[in-house]
């Protein structure tokens, strides 16, 4: 957005003018607002100050009473205010002097962490919550200042793991020992343009009853509060009425009567406002339901109830999902194996595409093992095996069979059997993990990345983390 004064242009550029806060006010981590203030000067200009302010205000205002005796109620409060001064004073107490700027383009970057507990933007009839960026270039003399404003919209959404998203709603009741009814909704939270199915299950107890109509109404209630007064406005967003919904059924046809009434949430604001709750403005939604019943004596009766629902802007998109965890066979990647082994695995995976199937299994030797024993670390698929080289024993067995030497065959078989047995903990070689501090491990998700290998020495110990937490607590 650009403000043009004469030949000078002032522009506020932001990465986005809509800030999405995920989760409720007590669980949201906030978001980063960042951008650039751009000033284009076509000629030499003397400027005293260049400031940018992020302002959030909450206000309510309405009138009551007849025209000749109306009473006005109004209240306003600043929620947040942050100032960037791009031409700060050289020393405290000295009045700013005008600085001369030549023609050209000037840019200043800015950023601010927006708190996660800020109220969301609201534009109702008698109440508003507004956020904006206001840039001011103060020029010397009697020349008008350059002012530019940009509105910022803040809205909130629920996390996909929120309990409200999986919570259904059901009303079960019996009216005057004549009708037993169930009214249910699949969820209590809906977004713009979403359909709300209201399911009716009606079981007639008394004979010769009939349902005249089913009505469902989506209502919006806005409550505005000042220091000494409160006002509530209500309006109907959607209305659905079904006459004689069970005309083709009688008491003897089915054990109960079933019908679904659909209510569609309006697509955009101001046709519908999202739920909001702060010190001055409360916006709520509910579904009012009326079941009209004709009694055998001809009198009409009505069963009334209301169901609270929540209207939000959107659902949060989770970057990671629990069902995308790696397979069980791949969890070895999170263990801090030897760097030599990991390097060999990565080089092997990179060379698999250019090698034949005969070279798909490679054997490498760990320095710690080869220095004391004659074992090697064989890499097969995604498993590590401590294996013995038994080619010498197989040669002895073949030669013994040719000579008929039964003693040599038994000795070689026993030695091969001992080598093929798994090593006990005490018999294992002083292995490749001795140089790694097991308390210095990366996170689970970081350990799954094959593109990087993290040195254990670069990671903090758990003891140091506990000490730092104790200091800040």
Task: Select from 129, 157, 185 the last residue of a domain.
Answer: 157
Together in a domain, 373 and 303: no
Q: Is 43 helix (H, G, I), strand (E, B) or coil?
A: coil
pTM recorded for the entire structure:
0.64
Which of the residue ranges 146-155, 354-363, 398-407 would you say has the lowest mean pLDDT?
354-363
Together in a domain, 57 and 176: no
Together in a domain, 49 and 118: yes
Q: How many domains does the chain have?
A: 3
In a domain, 452, yes or no: yes
Together in a domain, 202 and 295: yes
7 or 243, greater pLDDT: 243
Together in a domain, 84 and 199: no
In a domain, 406, yes or no: no
In tens, the pLDDT along 400-459 reads 555 555 665 566 556 555 554 444 444 444 444 444 444 445 555 555 554 444 444 455
Together in a domain, 368 and 308: no
Together in a domain, 382 and 239: no
Q: pLDDT value at position 453?
A: 46
Burial 436-467 (b: 16+ CB within 10 A, else e): beeebbbeeeebeeeeeebebeebeeeeeeee
Residues spanned by the domain of 465: 325-389+423-472
Task: Select from 110, 140, 157 the last residue of a domain.
Answer: 157
Together in a domain, 60 and 170: no
Task: Select from 157, 173, 193 the last residue of a domain.
Answer: 157
In a domain, 409, yes or no: no
Together in a domain, 206 and 277: yes
Together in a domain, 194 and 244: yes
Contact 36, 7 (CB under 8 A): no
In a domain, 109, yes or no: yes
Say which CATH number the domain at 240 has: 2.60.40.640
Together in a domain, 360 and 276: no
Q: Which long-range contacts (CB under 8 A, 24 or more apart) does 221-224 make?
A: 221/283, 221/284, 221/285, 221/286, 222/124, 222/125, 222/126, 222/127, 222/273, 222/281, 222/282, 222/283, 223/281, 223/282, 223/283, 223/284, 224/60, 224/62, 224/124, 224/126, 224/127, 224/280, 224/281
In tens, the pLDDT along 156-186 reads 988 777 777 778 889 999 988 888 999 999 9
């Amino acid at each position: 957005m650009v403000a043009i004064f004469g030949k000078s242009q002032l522009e506020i550029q932001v990465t986005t003018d809509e800030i999405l806060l995920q989760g409720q006010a007590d669980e949201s981590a906030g978001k980063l607002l960042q951008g650039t203030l751009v000033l284009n000067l076509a000629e030499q200009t003397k400027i005293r100050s260049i400031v940018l302010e992020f302002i959030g205000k909450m206000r309510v205002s309405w009138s009551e009473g007849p025209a000749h005796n109306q009473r006005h109620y109004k209240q306003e409060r600043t929620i947040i205010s942050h100032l960037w001064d791009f031409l700060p004073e050289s020393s405290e107490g000295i009045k700013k002097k005008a600085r001369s700027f030549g023609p050209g383009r000037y840019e200043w970057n800015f950023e601010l962490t927006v708190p996660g507990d800020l109220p969301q933007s609201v534009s109702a009839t008698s109440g508003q919550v507004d956020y904006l960026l206001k840039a001011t270039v103060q020029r010397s003399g009697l020349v008008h200042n350059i002012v530019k404003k940009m509105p910022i919209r803040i809205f909130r959404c629920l996390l996909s793991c929120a309990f409200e998203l999986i919570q259904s709603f059901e009303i079960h009741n019996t009216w005057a020992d004549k009708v037993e009814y169930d009214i249910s909704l699949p969820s209590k939270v809906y977004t713009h343009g979403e359909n709300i199915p209201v399911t009716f299950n009606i079981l007639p107890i008394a004979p010769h009853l009939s349902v005249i109509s089913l009505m469902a109404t989506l209502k919006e209630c806005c409550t505005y509060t000042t220091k000494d007064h409160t006002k509530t406005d209500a309006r109907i967003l959607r209305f659905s009425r079904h006459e004689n919904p069970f005309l083709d059924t009688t008491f003897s046809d089915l054990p109960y009567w079933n019908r679904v009434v659909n209510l569609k949430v309006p697509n955009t604001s101001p046709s519908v406002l999202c739920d909001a709750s702060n010190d001055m403005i409360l916006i709520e939604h509910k579904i009012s339901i009326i079941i009209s019943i004709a009694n055998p004596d001809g009198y009409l009766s009505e069963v009334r109830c209301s169901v609270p629902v929540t209207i939000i802007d959107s659902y949060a998109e989770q970057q990671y999902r629990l069902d995308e965890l790696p397979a069980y066979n791949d969890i070895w990647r999170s263990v801090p194996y030897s760097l030599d082994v990991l390097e060999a695995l990565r080089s092997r995976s990179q060379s698999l595409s250019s090698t034949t199937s005969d070279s798909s299994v490679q054997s490498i030797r760990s320095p710690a093992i080869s220095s004391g024993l004659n074992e090697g670390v064989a890499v097969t698929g995604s498993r590590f095996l401590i294996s013995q080289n038994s080619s010498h024993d197989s040669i002895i067995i073949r030669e013994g069979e040719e000579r008929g030497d039964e003693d040599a065959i038994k000795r070689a078989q026993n030695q091969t059997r001992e080598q093929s047995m798994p090593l006990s903990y005490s018999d294992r070689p002083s292995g490749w993990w001795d140089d790694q501090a097991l308390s210095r491990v990366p996170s689970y998700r970081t350990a799954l990345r094959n593109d990087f290998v993290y040195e254990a020495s670069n990671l903090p110990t758990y003891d140091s983390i506990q000490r730092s937490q104790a200091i800040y607590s």
